[in-house]
Chains A and B, each alone.
Chain A
Amino acid sequence: MKANVLDLPIELVDYIFRLLDTKSLLTLRSVSQITKELAESVFMNQTQKPLIEELFLNKKKLEADLTPSDTIFLFDLLTPLMCRLQSGSLALNPSTDEMFSLTSKFFDGKTVETVQFKLDHSD
């Protein structure tokens, strides 16, 4: 019989989930009830912030803690959803050409009180 990850003691599954990045935790929300609850609980325990609400609801500050390529990927795909976002400030890191290009799409027609650019002097 094929093994099921959920046959492992819950503390071991929890440990594995704690090694996952935010994107994988988001994906696990749509696998089953238990993976959804565990993924949300792991994120909440580590950040004291709800997983989805942190990204999508009305927060003073949106922090996307992702790698540059993930961030570009995220912004590109999030653009159609940005009409739902009301953010007090938005910090962009890294401030690459791609990032400027992508952010210009969702800034169009929206008001953001503060924008922070962290410049990378390595290039």
Chain B
Amino acid sequence: PNVKLVTSDNEEFVVDFRIAKMSVTVSRLMEAMNMSETDDASLLSNSIPLPNVTKAVMARVIEWCEKHKNDEPKEEKENDKRGRTTHVVSDWDKEFLKNDEFGRLCQLMGAANYLEIKGLFNDISQTIANMIHGKKSDEIAEMFNIHCDLTEAEKKEIRKKTAWCED
């Protein structure tokens, strides 16, 4: 069975029921609209509005979901003393995300968050975290377009305390 998803720019995507269910948000909406896998009429007569997702972003989300529709749920584990959890981004996912410029990654992350697709959300978050890792402060500011609003005195104090992590 197929489900119709309608984006903010009025584009309709017809996706497999299994793909639609990968989004917790879509799942909840289908439930609220009494749409079920065994009731074709309910699926044909309804479409799910997704006002926070554009056509371009939805196409990327569906591409990711198609690839991961048969995945087993991943177990989350804390992996250091700080309780920090890192996610392993698979080679396919690295390849999938590598050509997205940062603005596009942010849009995709926003959509994954809104649609509640945890795997995609984790992949993008970890990809952005990996982009930060090993960078100097000015490189991070440049990469993420962050204006430095620290005063000279604050910068001096921070430099004094963290000189060891700068080259």
Contact = CB atoms under 8 A, between A and B. Distances in A.
Interface string A52-66: 100010000001010
Interface string B137-148: 100110011111
Interface in B98-144: 101-103, 106, 109-110, 113, 125-126, 128-129, 132-137, 140-141, 144
Interface residues of B, number: 43
Given A16-B129, A30-B162, A33-B149, A22 B110 contact: no
Interface stretch (B4-12, B19-27, B42-50, B153-161): B153-161
A6 interface: yes
A115 interface: no
Contacts of B148: 31-32
B150 A81 contact: no
A56 B160 CA distance: 11
Contacts of A47: 82-83
B82 A22 contact: yes
Contacts of A18: 84-85
Contact of A21 (B102, B109, B133): B133
Contacts, number: 116
Interface residues of A, number: 40
A31 B134 CA distance: 14
A36 B85 CA distance: 21
A15 B84 CA distance: 10
B165 interface: yes
Given A5-B106, A16-B125, A33-B150, A28 B113 contact: no
Given A12-B109, A19-B87, A19-B126, A2 B145 contact: yes
Given A5-B102, A5-B145, A78-B164, 18 more contacts: A2-B103, A3-B144, A4-B146, A8-B110, A12-B109, A12-B113, A19-B129, A21-B84, A24-B135, A27-B135, A27-B140, A28-B137, A29-B158, A30-B150, A31-B148, A32-B141, A36-B150, A74-B164
9 contacts: A4-B144, A16-B129, A19-B86, A19-B87, A19-B129, A27-B166, A28-B140, A32-B149, A74-B164
* 3 tightest A-B CB contacts, nearest first: A3-B103, A77-B164, A5-B144
Interface of A: 2-9, 12, 15-24, 26-33, 35-36, 43, 46-47, 52, 56, 63, 65, 74, 77-78, 81
Interface of B: 80-87, 101-103, 106, 109-110, 113, 125-126, 128-129, 132-137, 140-141, 144-150, 155, 158-159, 161-166
